Amino acid sequence: MTVLVERYSGDGATWDAFGRTQQGWTHYHGYGWKSVIEQTMGHAYIPLAARNSADGVLAGILPVVRVSTRLFGRYIVSMPFLNYGGPLGSDDAVRELARFAAAMADQERAKLLELRSAVELPVDLPVSHRKITVVLPLAPGGDVETAWKGLGTKLRAQVKRPQKEGVVVRFGREQVDRFFEVFARHMRDLGTPTLPRAFFRAIADQFGEAAWFGCAYLGDRPIAAGAGFRWGDEFEMTWASALTEHNRIAPNMALYWAFIERAVREGVRRFNFGRCTPGGGTHRFKRQWGGLDEPLWWYQHVPGGGAAATPSPDDSAYSWGPRIWKKLPLPLATALGPRIVRGIP
């Protein structure tokens, strides 16, 4: 059946109801991201819909965002600042949505179209596996004891260490600002601009219980923090940070276990540790929990041909940035970071 692509003009509930029935649906396909992206990052969120030409029935959806800044140029991404996106629906709808997005990138002279999918897609586009994720299957039925024993003796000892030092983990909407304190400092220390505080506040307001914010405290001070999303039977730890001066007691171990324990109690079956670079230190940290690698299917189209990628500190053209950023006073880095990172999807 022929499908036609248009800019979606329906309501968010209809969009989400369709998306949740499709293979590859993730939290990041949700229509609620429109207000978060537009209000806090200043980019245009463009929802695309494929409909059957005969009856107008919805056959596919694709959320794309036009990321455009003077510093880095223009990119079309689904979804920027996040790990998943990409078209959902019938094979014909997915192909037509990808073609439409590629034509949009051509017309707007974007540097790159990138469709970040959780699953392989039936599209004729080059795919990048430069990032992967690690997924840990969880014990069914809320069986925390089985999950705990599954960690193994060595890993359990690493979790107990910060707990013996008095580290406790707290969850809730009220943790957003404390999360950001740790996150912003951690990003400065890595030499990377931070996302804005308003971005995380908007996430908490928009998504409620689906967005988990947790902080590990030593006394009354947050020393590690994480945030992520629950959808279906999966949870993804999208952001996690820890203060380096507390590495000796490894608060991030207590933090991750608290998130895993909560996921088990709430019936989650897949704990997704979030994206990382294969073979890197973050990858090794995530693998130690017993999870398995899964590729990320990031499909790309470069208008005019050739090769392109989203901006990265790993690029030689930007390698000077982290060296300078690490030396900035924290208040200055926190104030300037969002102005820069909004162009790094």
What is the C-alpha separation between 287 and 281, in angstroms, rounded? Answer: 10
Residue 143 · residue 264 · CB < 8 Å: yes
* 110 and 259 in a common domain: no
What is the C-alpha separation between 168 and 224, in angstroms, rounded? Answer: 10
- 335 within a domain of the structure (yes/no): no
Query: Quick one: which H or E segment has residue 224?
Result: strand 221-231
pTM: 0.94
CATH code, domain with 167? 3.40.630.30
What is the C-alpha separation between 98 and 264, in angstroms, rounded? Answer: 36
From first to last of its 345 residues, the chain has per-residue pLDDT tens of: 699 999 999 999 999 999 999 999 999 999 999 999 999 999 999 999 999 988 989 999 999 999 998 888 999 999 999 999 999 999 999 999 999 999 999 999 999 999 999 999 999 999 999 899 999 999 877 789 999 999 999 999 999 999 999 999 999 999 999 999 999 999 999 999 999 999 999 999 999 999 999 999 999 999 999 999 999 999 999 999 999 999 999 999 999 999 999 999 999 999 999 999 999 999 999 999 999 999 999 999 999 776 667 766 666 556 667 788 888 899 999 999 999 999 999
* 55 and 107 in a common domain: yes
* 242 and 201 in a common domain: yes
Domain range for 14: 3-130+297-310
Longest CA–CA span in the chain (Å) reads 65
The per-residue pLDDT for 320 is 65
* 277 and 159 in a common domain: yes
Tell which residue, 183, 195, 182, 188, has the closest CA to residue 322. 188
* 268 and 157 in a common domain: yes
What total of structural domains would you count in the chain?
A: 2
The per-residue pLDDT for 14 is 97
* b/e per residue 176-187 (b: at least 16 CB within 10 A): bebbbbbbbbbb
- With residues binned 3-state (H G I as helix, E B as strand, rest as coil), the percentages for the chain, rounded to 5, are 40, 30, 30
* 183 and 97 in a common domain: no
The three-state secondary structure class of 119 is coil
The per-residue pLDDT for 323 is 80
**C-alpha separations of 50 from 15, 46, 78, 115 in Å:** 11, 13, 16, 16
* 285 and 137 in a common domain: yes
- 279 within a domain of the structure (yes/no): yes
* 151 and 112 in a common domain: no
- 331 within a domain of the structure (yes/no): no
The per-residue pLDDT for 318 is 61
Beta strands 234-242 and 44-52 are unpaired
The per-residue pLDDT for 203 is 98
* 148 and 108 in a common domain: no
Which residue in the block uniquely carries the two structure tokens 């293979």?
23
- 61 within a domain of the structure (yes/no): yes
Beta strands 73-78 and 58-69 are antiparallel
Residue 134 · residue 276 · CB < 8 Å: yes
What is the C-alpha separation between 283 and 274, in angstroms, rounded? Answer: 10
The per-residue pLDDT for 1 is 67
The per-residue pLDDT for 262 is 97
* DSSP for residue 285: H
* 149 and 58 in a common domain: no
The per-residue pLDDT for 119 is 94
* 104 and 9 in a common domain: yes
